[in-house]
Structure 1
Amino acid sequence: MAPPSAIDIDVRAVDDTTAMTVPNPLTLEGVSPRRAATGRLIAGVAAVANVEQFKGAKQHNHKPKAKRWDHRLNIEASSRKGNSLKAAAEYLKKPGIISLGGGLPSAEYFPFDELSIKVPEVGHFSEQETREQGAVLTAGKSDLADEKSLFDITTAFNYGQGTGSAQLLRFLIEHTEIAHNPPYQDWYCNMTIGSTSGLDVALRMFVERGDVVLTEDYTFATAVETAAPMGVNMVGVGLDGEGLLPESLDDILSNWDEAARGARKPFLLYTVPTGQNPTGATQSEERRRDVYKVAQKHDLYILEDEPYYFLQMQPYTGPGSPDVPPPKSHADFLRSLVPSYLSMDTDGRVMRLDSFSKVVAPGARVGWITASQQIVDRFVKHVDVSTQGPSGISQLVLFKLLDEHWGHAGFLDWLVHIRMEYTQRRDVMLSACEKYLPKEVMSWKPPMAGMFHWLQIEYEKHPDYKNKSVADLEEQIFQTIVDHGALVMKGSWFYADSQAKHDTMFFRTTYAAAPFDKINEAIKRLGEAVREEFKLKSQ
């Protein structure tokens, strides 16, 4: 895929009467000159990362600075002092210094001398191509000292900073700038051990026991389960086929009664804007801008959880229709993505959570957040005394693959590849749904992104409708589906607030992993089970 041409200067609205000029974001061809201008990266054990250097300050100095969030940070976050022992790593930069300070074990005692991985060549991403002609990347123990690489076993396998290694962090900052170009000056990135951990840290920074967090009415179940032991409840915001409804969000906040609700007015919104789990809904650019305006009106802070952002698929054109060809260039691909909340965040009121879980491998346990410097500073002070950052082994493997082997252009090629793969998987499931599911009682909308297909059941047409509750009917239908040899997820498992009244019934399916023939057979069995439950004629 050819690299993109330069992107024109853009003018973006700050509010109804104010605009700002945004110069070119970092382009793929701009990465190498920037790196050359800053000199060779030297980052040894526990090196402190120079985030401003990685960002390229000249491209951001014209932008406004983020709002301060002191009034939203809780006591725990405000009182954290960080890890005093890690602060000493700053002095390791002093030439000729002999360290007897840090409790870092000697790499001499690491029982690893070499690590090799076999990965795809750019443009040859299939399993078979990788097996037959993939590249073998090797990391040695002393590659940094021997000037063979910027990262090695000695460095990666030792203790590090809560930010993650400088070597991989630089790539993530450049990627964030290429994909999102945040429109304020003091944005930073910080690695996580995945977005669930990132959410856990974020909640512990902002909320107190008894607080409420707003989210989609149906939401990621683990998010609810993460908040619950903190004494934090989720309140569901209405949604439609395009995701979160800004008017519902505004209505809840405008009419919040602290006495009736038993909680202060919420100021935190957790949302999965793209390929939402479980509904598969994707918020349009207009929808996101409308939600952001509501956030500004009520001074909300947004947690933008985006594991499926790069699984935005080709348009669905219906059964038997010709496939839509892939993007012609990297620029076309990036332009085809719905703009993120981060890319429109003029206030610094968004913490974006990214992850390699859905686009590389969940077991890597590496992700990153992007937020204002103030928020990232608080975040890393928590991480430095808890997770201490992602596994060094994972960081080294990802660095070898992404930075040394693929580069930014190759990574975008990979993202286009999995986009087309997921498009094909979705289309197989949609074709099966059209063929086997009874439309008299089931309906759905083709997902634009992610891994999930959300099926609505018109339970009012069930023979037992007047005799059973929605919950009992859902369980009855679910058990019949299982008896027919298919497994789907009950919609009630994804309630943001299980105590709230729900008068709809859904089941979640996924096309992410099963072979095509199994997807087809599972949907066929699902259709048979629903027909049996609703006493409909068999196909």
Structure 2
Amino acid sequence: MPSFATHSIGTEAMEKRKFLNSIQERRTEAGKLVAGVAAVCNSENFKAPASNKPNAKCWDSHLSKESLSRPLCILKQAAGYINNPDMVSLGGGLPSSECFPFYDWSFRVPMPHDFPSKDLASADCPTTQTVSIGKHDVKAGISEYDLSIALNYGQATGSPQMMRFITEHTELVYNPPYADWKVCPTVGSTGALEQTIRMLCDRERGDTILTEEYSFSTALETFLPQGIKPVGVQMDDEGLLPDSMDEILSSWDEKSRGCRKPHVLYTIPSGQNPTGATQSLQRRRSIYAVCQKHDIFIIEDEPYYFIQMPPYQGKKIDSPEVSEDVETFLAGLVPSYLSLDVDGRVLRMDSFSKVLVPGSRLGWVTASAQIIERFIRHAEVANQGPSGVSQIMLWKLLDETWGHEGYLKWLISLKNSYTKKRDMLLAACDKYLPKSVVSWSPPTTGMFLWLKLDPLQHPDYPGRSIEDIEGGIFDQAIKNNVLCARGTWFRAEPSTPARGMFFRATYASATEEAMGIAIQRFGEAIRQSYHIDQ
């Protein structure tokens, strides 16, 4: 795992336990959360008491014309009047819950006390509990959230119930160092990124966006139709290089480039997709300093953040799993850019997709109050907030059943499970891939392994281009019935010369047996292309 430099895990762990205990104390003091249909909410209501932290900078100069022109949504604002229990509303378009054809739901979930000692990939299920949700649980005094609320229209900010959990989780894990931060639930990080790019970038201004030279292909496909050109920053095994970014920005010439200097960075700091690279604490600090120097706003996309694993030790006999407490787990995470952000120049995107269920399409963003306010104005007319079905199911699991500590135990167990999967794939690579032409750095976070092939040793290079050789290996692998993603699919600037030849493999879902077969077949495709004897 990347070095934490002066990061004191012992002291940090004690602070995390103290804050974890304070969450329930604040809830008890605040009393039962009362929030009905389409209730207006604000993450300020759920944060710890104000400290002496400074407020964020103003980001007007970074916002697009589209974002600056968005007005308040009148109908959404009118919903605030409904919070008055004596108000009889004839003004909204909310259907009656009596017309909803669902009376109750139930589902079985694992219990947190089994997580640390169980392999999530095992066929043996841990202890489970049946969770039930009724239509009128709030009226009956059974719960703070029910189907009559969740199945109706909501606010772009999501439900107060889910926002409370997300706000507390954000403060517990990241503790932003400025005062006026807020969160907003989203319909997943892909939708959140599209909204954020439209909020910060303009086609008319000739905007560009900095990103890693190999980046998430869907993100690149989000930029280009909006007329936003990605600019690739060179990488090493720790991800984005701050010196490369500084050189690009310091030498930027608008006339020769045909576009203005970038003012936004999109980065995946942990378990980067596709390379699997994780930025160390020192690397993040250096990148943040470059962003301060050039006034760059940072979009921090972190779907794999909690899958931070110990270093790969090579193939070995499984040893007994060591239980890890939640305080040590939290203190051992590489600090987020959000945790380093003294200016409010970071919008962090979190998601439940990679750690719970992708189909929930539920995540959240954290940023300064100004940025979140503009984000909400867009959400009000784009998606009206995340699904109530997703919110109540995850709230029932995370808040009412597991609680914050239970969810953190789940994340620890998930990390352990992915560590085993990663080790299985790496062992297969050690066994089946021709190391004379293929190399890799064992990932410490996430789901991806970045395989580097040496084009200089290929018998057809330079007569054939790197792209052509890569395509030939890909086609042969498909004939061998194995799929690995081509590196060129992830290039930020595909029109520039390639600096290497790569393939992305994932250990997210395949079994140990299937991973072994797949890597063996892929190794055969490489040998066939390079004319390497078996």
Measured against the shorter chain, the TM-score band is over 0.9
Q: Secondary structure at the match of 1:351?
A: strand
Instruction: Report if the CA contact (8 A) 1:26-1:178 is conserved.
Output: no
1:284-295 alignment runs, 5 A limit: 284-295=280-291
Rate the CA distance shift 1:326–1:242 in 2: closer, same or farther, 3 A. Answer: farther
Deviation of 1:319 (Å): 2.0
1:445 aligned onto 2:441:
yes
Q: 1:476 aligns with which of 472, 475, 480?
A: 472
Deviation of 1:53 (Å): 2.0
User: In the aligned structure 1, how far is the partner of 2:372 from the partner of 2:349?
Assistant: 12
Deviation of 1:356 (Å): 0.3
Match of 2:506 in 1: 510
Rate the CA distance shift 1:512–1:132 in 2: closer, same or farther, 3 A. Answer: closer
Match of 1:200 in 2: 194
Deviation of 1:124 (Å): 3.1
1:279 aligned onto 2:269:
no
User: In the aligned structure 1, how far is the partner of 2:207 from the partner of 2:274?
Assistant: 24
1:74 aligned onto 2:70:
no
Q: Deviations over 1:37-89 (max 9, x none)?
A: 1221101001111322201233xx31010000011111111111131101011
Q: Deviations over 1:240-295 (max 9, x none)?
A: 00000000010000000000111111000000000000000000000000000000
- Opposite residue 285 of structure 1, the aligned amino acid is L
1:456 aligned onto 2:460:
no
Instruction: Report if the CA contact (8 A) 1:26-1:181 is conserved.
Output: no
Q: Secondary structure at the match of 1:176?
A: helix
Alignment RMSD, CA only?
A: 1.8
Instruction: Report if the CA contact (8 A) 2:348-2:365 is conserved.
Output: yes
Q: 2:415 aligns with which of 412, 419, 426?
A: 419
Match of 2:292 in 1: 296
- Opposite residue 357 of structure 2, the aligned amino acid is A
Deviation of 1:26 (Å): 6.4
Instruction: Report if the CA contact (8 A) 1:163-1:191 is conserved.
Output: yes
Instruction: Report if the CA contact (8 A) 1:314-1:324 is conserved.
Output: no
Match of 1:30 in 2: 22
Q: Secondary structure at the match of 1:514?
A: coil
1:154 aligned onto 2:144:
no
User: In the aligned structure 2, how far is the partner of 1:130 from the partner of 1:527?
Assistant: 33
Match of 1:52 in 2: 44
- Opposite residue 517 of structure 2, the aligned amino acid is E
Match of 2:109 in 1: 119
Answer 1 or 2: higher relative contact order, Cα 8 Å, separation at least 6. Answer: 2
Unaligned 5+ runs, structure 1:
1-5, 11-22
Instruction: Report if the CA contact (8 A) 2:231-2:492 is conserved.
Output: yes
Match of 1:104 in 2: 94
- Opposite residue 340 of structure 1, the aligned amino acid is S
Rate the CA distance shift 1:165–1:70 in 2: closer, same or farther, 3 A. Answer: same
Q: Deviations over 1:374-397 (max 9, x none)?
A: 000000010011111111000000
Instruction: Report if the CA contact (8 A) 1:119-1:130 is conserved.
Output: no
Match of 2:377 in 1: 381
User: In the aligned structure 2, how far is the partner of 1:290 from the partner of 1:278?
Assistant: 22
1:246-285 alignment runs, 5 A limit: 246-285=242-281
Q: TM-score, normalised by structure 2?
A: 0.94
Match of 2:4 in 1: none
Q: 1:174 aligns with which of 168, 177, 188?
A: 168
Q: Which segment is superposed worse, 418-427 or 132-141?
A: 132-141
Instruction: Report if the CA contact (8 A) 1:280-1:451 is conserved.
Output: yes
Match of 1:319 in 2: 315
Instruction: Report if the CA contact (8 A) 1:7-1:25 is conserved.
Output: no
Q: Deviations over 1:397-426 (max 9, x none)?
A: 001000000000000000000100000000
- Opposite residue 79 of structure 2, the aligned amino acid is A
Instruction: Report if the CA contact (8 A) 2:182-2:367 is conserved.
Output: yes
Unaligned 5+ runs, structure 2:
1-8
Q: Secondary structure at the match of 2:62?
A: coil
Question: Structure 1 residue runs of 4+, over 6 Å off?
Answer: 23-26, 127-130
- Opposite residue 162 of structure 1, the aligned amino acid is A
Q: Deviations over 1:16-46 (max 9, x none)?
A: xxxxxxx879622111101111221101001
Match of 1:487 in 2: 483
Q: Secondary structure at the match of 1:309?
A: coil
1:432 aligned onto 2:422:
no
- Opposite residue 77 of structure 1, the aligned amino acid is S
Q: Secondary structure at the match of 2:371?
A: helix
Q: Secondary structure at the match of 2:139?
A: coil
User: In the aligned structure 1, how far is the partner of 2:277 from the partner of 2:126?
Assistant: 38
Q: Secondary structure at the match of 2:382?
A: coil
Q: Secondary structure at the match of 1:184?
A: coil
Instruction: Report if the CA contact (8 A) 1:38-1:53 is conserved.
Output: no
Rate the CA distance shift 1:130–1:105 in 2: closer, same or farther, 3 A. Answer: farther
Identical columns (%):
50
Deviation of 1:326 (Å): 4.4
Q: Secondary structure at the match of 1:519?
A: helix
- Opposite residue 311 of structure 1, the aligned amino acid is I
Q: Secondary structure at the match of 1:368?
A: strand
Q: Deviations over 1:125-151 (max 9, x none)?
A: 547788574211111001111111000
Q: Secondary structure at the match of 1:411?
A: helix
Instruction: Report if the CA contact (8 A) 1:63-1:184 is conserved.
Output: yes
Instruction: Report if the CA contact (8 A) 2:17-2:327 is conserved.
Output: no
1:184 aligned onto 2:174:
no
Rate the CA distance shift 1:127–1:119 in 2: closer, same or farther, 3 A. Answer: farther
User: In the aligned structure 2, how far is the partner of 1:363 from the partner of 1:291?
Assistant: 33
Deviation of 1:91 (Å): 1.1
Deviation of 1:323 (Å): 5.0
Match of 2:3 in 1: none
